[in-house]
Structure 1
Amino acid sequence: MTTAQRSISRYLWAAERQATWIPAERLVEDRYHVIAPQLWLDTKPQAPPDIFFPLPHQASAYAHLYQYKLHLPQLHGFCTLKRSGETIEIPLLDNIPVDNEGKLLPSLSEAWSTATPLHQAYWLWQAIDLWAPLAGTGVLSSLIQIENLRVDGWCLRLCELISDRSTGNPKVTLAKLGALWQENLPGAAPEIADRLENLYDKMQAEKASLRDVSRELNKITLERAAQLPLQWQIAGGTDAGATHQHNEDSYYPTPLDLTHDSTGGKIAIICDGIAGHDGGEVASQMAVKLLKIQTQTLFDSLVNSPELVSPEQICNAISAIVRVVNNTITAQNQSQERTELRRMGTTMVMALQVNQRIRNRNSVGNSHEIYIAHVGDSRAYWITPHRCQLLTIDDDIATREVKQGRDLPWHSANRPDAAALTQALGMKPGELIHPTVQRFMAIEDGILLLCSDGLSDRHLVESSWQDYAERILQTEMPLTEAVQSWLALAHRQNGDDNISLVLMSCQVSATDSQIHSSQLVPRHPDDTDADDLEPEPQFRFNRAIYLFLFLTTTLGFGAAIAIAITFFHPEWVDTWRQQLLPSSPQTQLQRQIDRSRAE
């Protein structure tokens, strides 16, 4: 099936309990076909749904939590019905947990008994990771309705957001969640059953700690992931497009970079110089160089760390790196008196496969963590043979209007200024830049795609990924060939812009050949089992990461200045070298003799 032949069905969730009385096969409002209770198929997906401005109160939670759309649905519109003389406004949700055939994905309790211990631990960690943002919007009840929690492979997803007030439970606690898990998730994998039972008990204690629960689940997840093999392949490319004389995109790694790459292909970067801004090409090149330098330092420190560093701390370190790079480009703009459209600017998306070393009984394994950082509208996708998941949210006017509760996603996307950026590197001081940094786990075979908007525009990724996913993962199509094929497709369909992408193919399937060639390190005889390790004091984690942040900011800023000078004033470098470096060893000897005579 070609991309032109594919059509995307729009399945919606009727987020109103009174919608459950509508029987299957009914056609609502001559438009919505009822597939199952609360699950509707929009038979007129090109027509706009009913919407109300200003948006009703129930829209606020979806707006404020829009950045978590990987896990949560979004408000699409409304359907107004009358029953027994009463008008009912039914919120219709998009981006819901259904498969391509419109079948609701398995609930957490349904998938639990056959899941691997790694999937079980990671699903629970994701639920805990959503606790704080859902608490801030008064919808924690969404996590204690077990049928509301669905699983999409590795990813935990919710059918809808449930207001705490609507359930009569304004005080949702960790104890309630722990009791829910204990009752509805029996039969945990034997490898982690005891640890989960202890965790459930701690959650129901009088002074349960969200941080402690998250830390324990993260530890279990990393230890289980480290027992899987992990192989990466990486390839990237760029194309100026059909209508451009030069290319403002930059990316890492290039084929030349891969010939002497010391990271094992585990750092990928796309930077797109802002079109219409003088110096966009220079800004994207600077950003790639600086991000590579500073991220390599972080990468090395994490690989060599004797203790686990939490996702929150790593996210903070990456955010600090992005701000240092931003400040360097901003300082260059100021030194050259660049204002408004003359300012250098660039978007960025970066992926880092963190290799924290987890000790197991027979080896030291990779923690399988992937960190994604982005500013602007360059994107990251996770692709498997069965799904394509957008991991990032564009920093543009359309997103801003949705997050501030003034518009709905589909409606905001049709604004004339929808694609105008709200932030990019080099355009404002670091304290005003808000990079988004997220942690994911590579626990299934998949492909990480980073790209500039030259590839993602016009939904090209969503309409073409199936032509590549299975062939890449089955090694029928080399990554380099896939890159060139996708660039050619974008050149034909999105050729009015520069196009760049990096593909990172991840293999974790435990075949015999992969186990022998995977990145497992033989265990030292003096190493102890991970389960026997005493936890290190928390201040050591904090001290290490704060020290790293200080060093990377200081050294990175110095390196940034050096690179900037090399870019714009190479003649200064030659002058300083002549002044600071002696012309020959004999000159140094003569100076020593002169000093001795003077003494």
Structure 2
Amino acid sequence: MLVYALTDTGNVRENNEDSYYISDGKNLNLFIVADGMGGCNGGEVASKYAVETVTKYFFDNYDNCNKDDESIKKFIKDAITTANSFVFNKSFSDLDLTGMGTTLTLLLIENKNYFIGHIGDSRAYLIRDGNLIQITEDHSYVEELVKLGRITQEEARIHPQKNIITRALGIDEEIEVDIFTGNVFKNDVYLLCTDGLTNMLTDDLILKEFKNSENINEACDNLIKLAKQNGGYDNITIVAVKEV
């Protein structure tokens, strides 16, 4: 398994409110991206707390989890729910953190299967057989408009309200977490990213870069550069995982 991660503040923001985690692959194939939001440094704190809480939950409890599919899916939901409670409670401890929240998209590879836990508008993609497949669904206002047929996907990319999300971690006491699962095959590439990438680049451009690059490291480096060339209005974070 090959893994590469990269984060960049972008061209406009002073702080990087994105966080990510990649495991060393020895005992646990866990990967996470999170995109924080909130006044002052709330977004940065929210994403950091969320990632740290989820990873701690895994390290403290995953060895005792049954490794069948249903148990793993429940475990992922429990980990993200635990992080939600932590961030939600922390938001009341400091006025500067009031209302903070974060997206969180998690990838776990176990038993030749992938498991994805997701809330918000960061994304998980699968590149397989020369195709780019978006696994997750954006929890956003514009995605709801797309589903209702009021705007197209292309119009959604430039919609003035594209940053309004309908689900996030830490905002409400209770959350709904999406879980996706499927088989892992040789040469699969799993891509986790924040919307600082997908708001600047189309899916076709992302796929083209992976096809034209020598390896996932080069592809991620080039995608960050392209996103910044196209504006770089937000923080940009990418985690790429290739099954070899």
Do these two structures clear the TM 0.5 threshold for a shared fold by scoring above it?
A: yes
User: 1:451 maps to what in 2?
Assistant: 193
User: 2:126 maps to what in 1?
Assistant: 382
Relative to structure 1, is the Cα distance of residues 275 and 453 closer, same or farther in structure 2, using a 3 angstrom cutoff? Answer: farther
For 2:17, which of 248, 264, 273 is the aligned residue?
248
User: 1:346 maps to what in 2?
Assistant: 102
8 Å CA contact retained: 1:371, 1:437: yes
How many angstroms does 1:274 deviate by? 1.6
Can you list the C-alpha shifts for 1:330-368, whole angstroms capped at 9, x where unaligned?
1111233568xx4221111110002xxxxxxxxxxxx21
| More contact order relative to length (CA 8 Å, sep ≥ 6) | 2
User: 1:417 maps to what in 2?
Assistant: 161
Structure 2 SS opposite 1:327:
helix
- In structure 1, what is the Cα distance between the partners aligned to 2:116 and 2:211? 20
For 2:86, which of 328, 334, 343 is the aligned residue?
328
- In structure 2, what is the Cα distance between the partners aligned to 1:494 and 1:375? 25
8 Å CA contact retained: 2:201, 2:227: no
- In structure 1, what is the Cα distance between the partners aligned to 2:31 and 2:231? 23
For 1:292, which of 40, 55, 62 is the aligned residue?
55
- In structure 2, what is the Cα distance between the partners aligned to 1:325 and 1:270? 14
Tell me which amino acid in the other structure corresponds to 2:33. Answer: I
How many angstroms does 1:284 deviate by? 0.7
The answer on 1:438 being equivalent to 2:180 is yes
Structure 1 gap ranges (5+): 1-231, 355-366, 508-599
User: 1:501 maps to what in 2?
Assistant: 238
Instruction: Please state which structure has a larger fraction of its residues in strand.
Output: 2
What pairs with 1:94-493 in structure 2 (closer than 5 Å)?
Answer: 232-253=1-22, 258=24, 262-263=26-27, 266-274=29-37, 276=39, 278-297=41-60, 299-302=62-65, 305=66, 309=68, 311-337=69-95, 342-354=98-110, 367-401=111-145, 406-408=148-150, 410=152, 413=156, 416-430=160-174, 433-469=175-211, 471=213, 476-477=214-215, 479-493=216-230
How many angstroms does 1:296 deviate by? 3.3
Can you list the C-alpha shifts for 1:71-111, whole angstroms capped at 9, x where unaligned?
xxxxxxxxxxxxxxxxxxxxxxxxxxxxxxxxxxxxxxxxx
Identity of aligned residues (%): 28
How many angstroms does 1:295 deviate by? 2.5
Tell me which amino acid in the other structure corresponds to 1:244. Answer: R
- In structure 1, what is the Cα distance between the partners aligned to 2:17 and 2:229? 19
How many angstroms does 1:238 deviate by? 0.4
8 Å CA contact retained: 2:127, 2:190: yes
- TM-score, normalised relative to structure 2: 0.87
How many angstroms does 1:464 deviate by? 3.1
Q: Structure 1 runs of 4+ off > 6 angstroms?
A: none
- In structure 2, what is the Cα distance between the partners aligned to 1:483 and 1:463? 12
Question: Aligned residue pairs: how many?
Answer: 242
8 Å CA contact retained: 2:54, 2:82: no
How many angstroms does 1:409 deviate by? 5.3
How many angstroms does 1:315 deviate by? 1.8
- In structure 2, what is the Cα distance between the partners aligned to 1:298 and 1:390? 30
- In structure 2, what is the Cα distance between the partners aligned to 1:345 and 1:319? 17
- In structure 1, what is the Cα distance between the partners aligned to 2:118 and 2:40? 20
Structure 1 SS opposite 2:181:
strand
User: 1:185 maps to what in 2?
Assistant: none
How many angstroms does 1:396 deviate by? 0.7
- TM-score, normalised relative to structure 1: 0.38
Relative to structure 1, is the Cα distance of residues 402 and 490 closer, same or farther in structure 2, using a 3 angstrom cutoff? Answer: closer
- In structure 2, what is the Cα distance between the partners aligned to 1:428 and 1:446? 35
Tell me which amino acid in the other structure corresponds to 1:495. Answer: G
How many angstroms does 1:418 deviate by? 4.0
- In structure 2, what is the Cα distance between the partners aligned to 1:492 and 1:275? 26
Tell me which amino acid in the other structure corresponds to 2:108. Answer: L
Structure 2 gap ranges (5+): none
RMSD: 2.5
What pairs with 1:443-592 in structure 2 (closer than 5 Å)?
Answer: 443-469=185-211, 471=213, 476-477=214-215, 479-507=216-244
Can you list the C-alpha shifts for 1:282-337, whole angstroms capped at 9, x where unaligned?
111111111111133454335xx4xx62x333222211211110011111112335
8 Å CA contact retained: 2:34, 2:103: yes
Structure 1 SS opposite 2:152:
helix
Can you list the C-alpha shifts for 1:424-475, whole angstroms capped at 9, x where unaligned?
1111112xx111111111024211000000111144343232222364xxxx
Structure 2 SS opposite 1:469:
helix
- In structure 2, what is the Cα distance between the partners aligned to 1:417 and 1:506? 36
How many angstroms does 1:276 deviate by? 5.0
